[in-house]
Amino acid sequence: MKLNNESIKLINLFEVLTGARVKDCYMNNDKVMFIVEHGDIRKVVSNNGSKIKKLEAMIKKKVKIVEYSDNIVEFLKSYVSPIKALSIEVNNEIVEIKVEDMRERGILIGRDRKNLDSLKNITKKYFNVENIKVI
């Protein structure tokens, strides 16, 4: 995904507000997701998430923060948070994410598979992954 003027402005605002380094930014109609460098998530969520709440109020959109990691399992744990994955296994470029119940499975997949497709596209950008399954 190429960065446009709006996403560059959001990245700059986010970095100034939080002090965290942004690796990537993804936007849709009602949500903005920032992928921050490994170790910088503490800067973002300190003070009970007051920086996130302030940013959400400023941009009038929900904000999701994902911490980047070179380890695909750690990256996916951060991505699916606050849902707790029971296990994340990688076998031959296929990732299986096991969750506790149908509600959490539904949230990860999303309406019309929108959330799962987004997860696949973002994960494929950083890792050699063929498919992601939620079970």
Q: Which CATH number fits the domain that encloses residue 104? A: 3.30.300.20
Q: What is the pTM of this model?
A: 0.90
Q: Which positions of the chain have pLDDT values less than 70?
A: 1-2
Q: How many domains does the chain have?
A: 2
- Say whether both 88 and 57 belong to one domain: no
- Say whether both 76 and 130 belong to one domain: yes
Helix or strand (DSSP H, E) at 31: strand 31-36
- Say whether both 30 and 78 belong to one domain: no
Q: Tell which of 50, 67, 84 closes a domain.
A: 67
Q: Which two tokens stand for residue 27?
A: 């936007």
- Say whether both 59 and 78 belong to one domain: no
What is the spatial distance between Cα 94 and Cα 89, in angstroms, rounded to a whole number?
A: 8
Domain range for residue 54?
Answer: 5-67
- Say whether both 61 and 100 belong to one domain: no
- Say whether both 45 and 83 belong to one domain: no
- Predicted local distance difference test score (pLDDT) of residue 4: 81
- Predicted local distance difference test score (pLDDT) of residue 86: 95
DSSP one-letter code for 82: T
- Predicted local distance difference test score (pLDDT) of residue 2: 62
Q: Parallel, antiparallel, or unpaired: how do β-strands 87-91 and 94-98 relate?
A: antiparallel
Q: Tell which of 19, 51, 67 closes a domain.
A: 67
Q: Which two tokens stand for residue 134?
A: 């939620």
What is the spatial distance between Cα 107 and Cα 117, in angstroms, rounded to a whole number?
A: 12
Q: Which of 38, 41, 39, 8 is nearest to 25 (CA)?
A: 8
Contact present, 95 and 89 (Cβ < 8 Å): yes
What is the spatial distance between Cα 115 and Cα 109, in angstroms, rounded to a whole number?
A: 5
